[in-house]
Structure formats: structure tokens, C-alpha cells
Amino acid sequence: MSTLPVLSSRPRLAAVVCLLLIAGSLHGATQDSPPQSQTPRQATAERLRAVTAAIAADPKNATAWATRAALHAESGEHALAIADYDALLKLEPERAEAYDARGSQHFMLGHIGPSIDDFDRFIRLKPQQEPWHWKRGISYYYAGRFDEGRRQFEGYQTVDDNDVENAVWRYLCMARDVGVAKARDAMLTVRRDIRVPMKEVYDLYSGQLKPDDVLAAARSGSPSPEALNARLFYAHLYLGLYYEVAGDAGRAREHITIAQQHKIGHYMWNVADVHAQRLRAAAEQKPQEPN
């Protein structure tokens, strides 16, 4: 999936630097990047200390709350990010992007209902963004609101018809609602998605290829280790989802678990992570059969 055309959850560097200057943590420096001796983790920790000091000095500093929330989100501290977005939205209840960012953080913690609520609030404030909001479509899927998910992905098709993932998620929603055969017959047409192995994923869901073909395509050529990791992530994610709606729970769990192990810096990895955690929770709650 592409990035939504709204502000991302990562802080804008200018805002971070501004707050650091206010807090005095740069000691008069004007460089945007941390010293070479600092690790990324140390740089983030320094920024967090600075912005926390700015919040303490002025609890109504909305920019400081937004920056710290984004820093927590970037660090994977989803609960802390949500708490800061809560504080920000008390100060600025019409700040649309904060609802969108908080919704993403809720999803990453498996809070499906609250993620939809926040995405809905964002769209009410920015209605022009509704067709772009594939994240809400994915939340609809996990909420079991399959018809709403289908319609969300059909909306996305009107603004981007080059995305295999969008066609696949619509298929998944339809398969849950009307069955695999009807979903396959109604696959959206994708003009061109050059990412490997998206063409093979599309052909798999269309009934033209087998699962092994997707994995073969992912490993083809001589990709860099980073590129291969990303290819295998997407291959295993969509194989897991394919098997799940086909009723093969064992293979679905196998591939989703492997996808979770191929971590990438994209929201879709969080989708695999949430899915894997839901599968584990369901397995733990399943009654044990007597010996």
C-alpha cells in the first residue's frame, strides 16, 4: 500500500529542531543532524528529553505534544504515543492529522474499534481524504465489517489503480462475505504494480498461479538483502491471507508468522504483527482436546 497523502506519524525535522533549541539541548548548534558519535537511539532519547522539558515548561504547547507523540510512535512506544495524542487533541480537538496518527497507533496495539473511530474522525474533518484511506479498510477487515471494507478499497481504486494490495484486500473482504469464487470473479483490474512479487500475488488470487510461484518470484534475480527481506515479507503476508480465507488455518498461521519475522519499516508490517498476535491469542483460548 502507498503512503496516505497526509502528514505521516514521523515528526518533521524542523519542528523537532525548533523544540530542541527552545529546550536548550543543542547548546547553540544549528545542525539538523545529531553528532556522529550519537547512535539513532541516543539522538531520539535526547530529543525526547528536550521535548518533555518543553512540555513541562508549557503544557499547552501543542507542537511539543505532537512532536513527542510522533517520537514515541517512531520508537514503537504505541501506548505512550496514544497518551500524547490524547493530550494534544484536548488542546486542539479539530487537529485532523492527530486523529489519523492516533488511529494508526491504536491499530498497532490491536485496538481495532478505536482505530476505526479515529480514522472516521479524521475523514469527517478531511472528507477529501476518504478514498485514500486504505488503513481504515484494513481495520474494517479485522473488525469483521467486510462490506464497508470492500467499499473502502473500491474507493481507493478510484485514486490509485496500480496497487495490487488494494485489489487483494477487496478480494479478502469479499471472500469473507460472499465466498472465494465470487471474490475471484470480481477481482479489481490493476494496471501496473512493478513491485516484486506483486504481479505473482495478483495472479495467485486470480487463480492463475500457485503459492510456490509467488515465493519463486520473491527470490528471483539478485536482490540486496534488504530488498529480499521486503519481498519475502510481502510474499508470506499475502500467502498467509490467501490460505486463511481459503480455510487452511495451518498454512495461514505458518506464513503470517514468517511474514512477522521479516520486519520492514512500513505499516503493512504492523498488519502482519497484529494478525500474528491475534492468531496466537485465538490458539491460546482454544479449548484443549481431551487425551
**First vs last Cα of the chain: how many Å apart?**
46
H helices of the chain, in order, are 13-23, 40-57, 62-74, 78-91, 96-108, 112-125, 134-143, 146-157, 164-178, 180-185, 198-205, 211-219, 225-245, 249-261, 267-285
Those residues whose C-beta lies under 8 Å from the C-beta of residue 141, and which sit 6 or more positions away, are 149, 169, 172, 173, 176
Rounded to an integer, the average pLDDT of 166-190 is: 98
pLDDT in tens, 101-149: 999 999 999 999 999 999 999 999 999 999 999 999 999 999 999 999 9
pLDDT in tens, 222-257: 999 999 999 999 999 999 999 999 999 999 999 999
DSSP 187: P
Q: Which CATH number fits domain 1-118: 1.25.40.10, 3.50.50.60, 1.10.287.3510, 1.20.80.10?
A: 1.25.40.10
Question: What is the spatial distance between Cα 63 and Cα 47, in angstroms, rounded to a whole number?
Answer: 14
pLDDT in tens, 54-110: 999 999 999 999 999 999 999 999 999 999 999 999 999 999 999 999 999 999 999
pLDDT bin (cut points 50, 70, 90) of residue 3 is low
| Domain extents in the chain | 1-118, 207-275
From residue 10, alpha-carbon distances to 43, 71, 97, 263 in Å are 14, 7, 12, 18
Identify the pLDDT of residue 37: 77
Instruction: Give the CA radius of gyration of the chain.
Output: 21
DSSP 28: T
For CA atoms 8, 270, 259, 179, the dihedral sign is negative
Q: Does residue 291 carry a pLDDT above 90?
A: no
